[in-house]
Chain A
Amino acid sequence: MVAHPTTTHFKDNAHRAMLDAQLQKALANTRTGFIEKRVLAVSKLPEFDALRDSARDIKDHTLAHLDLYLEAFETKVTEAGGHVHWARDAEEARRIIVDLCKQYDADSVTKGKSMISEEIGLNSAIEAAGIKAVETDLGEYIIQLRHETPSHIIAPAIHLNKEQVEQDFRRVHTELPKDRDLSQPTQLLTEARAILREKFLAADVGITGANFLVAETGTSIIVTNEGNGDLTQTLPDTHIVIASIEKIVPTLEDVSQLLRVLAPSATGQDMSVYTTFSTGPRRAGDPDGPTNYHVVLLDNGRSNMLGGEFEEMLRCIRCGACMNHCPVYHSVGGHAYGWVYPGPMGSVLTPSLIGVEKGGNLPNASTFCGRCEEACPVRIPLPKMMRHWREREFERHLSPSVARYGLSAWAFFAKRPKLYQFATGVAMRLLGWAGSSRGRFASLPMASGWTKFRDMPAPQGRTFQSQWRDRGGAR
């Protein structure tokens, strides 16, 4: 299900998240595991930085010729006996997929993990057509049972603990004996696997996303660890791929480069357990595969990003490293961001897709520490692009009026050094005097955003410039 954006309530969302003890415990695990595994994986790849440069260049080249490669991809898919559908927006993509499901008389649909499916709100559209949609990635399956959205792009249920999952299984899996031990993660996995096996066999249509689409062969590629994606796309009679247009890559050689930076950045693996290539429907002599193969290519605002200051965001290969390294994500988790994509990549992408009027909070909620850019396998300058969003907001007078007023008052003085030195000289003497007994302030009326949560150190008293001048220092 797609969330109605709550990005405008980011602060409230974050406040609740920081008070949620269970969530905070779950987030504590994310702060170390992903990061340590990535460091270890990268340490084994002396050529990692060169691979990142190459990955960036491949993506930049593709984006510069996106139309060409998309059309080449369509030609190859068609030659292989498949069909390509072009969807301008979420509504069109939903309609195409639901129509296909109806066309093939589907009663039930299995789904591999896909963030695009989340972006377009596919599950609720399928269910509204009277067709059962079952998520088969374990994390996605769990959050589907809970009617939640993913809180992380590669670990959708990372905000939950195993006790919560056990409760959900006992609530939904009604045939589960009460005395069955489900206290261990492997027992939960076994239970989910038994249930999902039936769903795989019963499904009429399998829907997957794509990590990459290869223009030279018309191939869609998924990268998974559970094998659910393979069962989703090979067992049902119909396989539908839903992917956004920037997933295209020219050649298989290019994909092999990108795969080498993807898994190390995401999970710290050399490669994911399964990397599966699908090209068209089952051919005569193939042991398995679908009879019908469809690819739905989604734009949904991405072509507007081409040629502009947010184009580099389209290099993103959805590894999740930026959120794994983000201090803000570590504090508030993924749901606080209020739409599909959390963390730094979400803070840049979300305003592009739903508008900065709704998503403007996200690029502002960053310390610009730069750790995301440092970890990004395709070197996306995430802080710089968040700043570009702040510029768009400022130009359009969307930033809060208090902040704008404060900024212009400050700028008035900052642009007049003499006046500034006089005014700050007086102010610092007063503040220094007021704070001299304790050396800090526990509350300051003009800076309650600061002092509500920590003390404000008091100034020493006289400014550096006035003291320097008085001591006859050279200027």
Chain B
Amino acid sequence: MSGPKRGQKDRPVPDTQTRPRVGLFATCLVDLFRPSVGFAAAKLLTDAGCDVVVPPQTCCGQPAFNSGDRRTTRDIALQVIDAFEHCDYVVAPSGSCAGMMAKNYPELFAGEPDMARKALAFARKTFELVSFLTDVRKATGVEARFDGTCTYHDSCSGLRELGIKAQPRKLLSSVQGLDLVEMKDSDVCCGFGGTFAVKYGEISASIAARKTENVTASGAPMLLAGDLGCLMNMAGKLSREGKDIEVRHVAEVLAGMTEDPPIGRAHDE
């Protein structure tokens, strides 16, 4: 099997005929907090005709990048690029991490032409999960069933860095039994912002409170999004407010893998 052509101007031409080797970048939050999202992503990729591999990984480096530590960011970026060298694509169930790798890695190596080329090639083969399924693998639907109503939060990085808005809605509309109702301001930040959520916890929670108000007002008993950071923030705020709304990563519903309790809930709840 041949890999995508490197060094061309546009992203690699998707080859939907053969089975590409997709490196799943689980993201640190999914790896540590919610492995079920990783397995859901792997299932969706396999169903879309990909061979899934999970190279050893830690984090995309965004916490260091957004804390102003360029050297650590660069070290981690190099590590990620090397670990996924053998993959045709790199796919993450997160617009935030995929955005970091696809948009910000190349600029870390300004002034190092060889490395910059490598980072650019890596960036071009990196995608967020749902948009990879629709835009690269040309998926028009999924084989899944979920009886219920959900609302969808557009996470900022996916929306504004990668243009992810229609793709999750398109795939969700193919889930049998599922209704999607839009909440007000679905495209407004939930207040997570990585380390911001801890460093400026009170402001972060105040922003989250406006989000949970809109989620609640939508009437949907389930909230979906494509980024675990945002989901943990919103789930944590909803449960603190005593609101009985199920929070899940969109991949879990798309893969039909919703046996595990929702985010922030226990098995017997």
| Chain B residues closer than 8 Å to A11, beta-carbon distance | 200, 202
Task: Please name the residue on chain B nearest to A19 by beta carbon.
Answer: B202
Q: How distant is B46 from chain A, measured CB to nearest CB, in Å?
A: 11
Say yes or no for A41: interface residue by CB 8 A criterion: no
Q: Flag A405-444 by CB within 8 Å of B: 1 or 0 each.
A: 0011011011101101100100110000000111110100
Contact in complex: A460, B57 (CB < 8 Å): no
| Chain A residues closer than 8 Å to B196, beta-carbon distance | 364-368
| Chain A residues closer than 8 Å to B75, beta-carbon distance | 411, 415
Question: Are A330 and B199 also in contact (CB < 8 A) when A460-B260, A464-B31 are?
Answer: no
- Measured in the bound complex, the distance between the Cα atoms of B266 and A273 in whole Å is 59
Say yes or no for B232: interface residue by CB 8 A criterion: yes
Contact in complex: B197, A450 (CB < 8 Å): yes
Residues 167-208 of B at the A interface (beta carbon under 8 Å):
188-189, 191-208
Contact in complex: A414, B76 (CB < 8 Å): yes
Question: Are A403 and B199 also in contact (CB < 8 A) when A371-B188, A439-B266 are?
Answer: yes
Say yes or no for B221: interface residue by CB 8 A criterion: no
Contact in complex: A399, B202 (CB < 8 Å): no
| Chain A residues closer than 8 Å to B32, beta-carbon distance | 424, 427-428, 459, 463-464
Q: Flag A451-474 by CB within 8 Å of B: 1 or 0 each.
A: 011111111101111011000011
Say yes or no for B9: interface residue by CB 8 A criterion: no
Most buried by B among A391, A394, A454: A454
Say yes or no for B109: interface residue by CB 8 A criterion: no
Q: How distant is A433 from chain B, measured CB to nearest CB, in Å?
A: 12
Contact in complex: B68, A392 (CB < 8 Å): yes
Task: Please name the residue on chain A nearest to B247 by beta carbon.
Answer: A457
| Chain B residues closer than 8 Å to A139, beta-carbon distance | none
Question: Are A454 and B72 also in contact (CB < 8 A) when A460-B34, A464-B30, A467-B35 are?
Answer: no
Contact in complex: A457, B266 (CB < 8 Å): no
Chain B residues proximal to chain A, CB less than 8 Å: 26, 28, 30-39, 42, 51-59, 61, 63-70, 72, 75-76, 79, 83, 156-157, 160-161, 188-189, 191-208, 210, 232-233, 235-237, 239-240, 260-261, 263-267, 269
Q: Can you list 14 A-B contacts (CB < 8 A)?
A: A364-B199, A365-B200, A367-B204, A368-B156, A370-B157, A394-B69, A407-B69, A410-B63, A417-B79, A439-B261, A455-B237, A459-B34, A464-B38, A465-B57
7 nearest A-B residue pairs (beta carbon): A367-B193, A453-B205, A390-B68, A394-B68, A464-B35, A439-B266, A369-B189
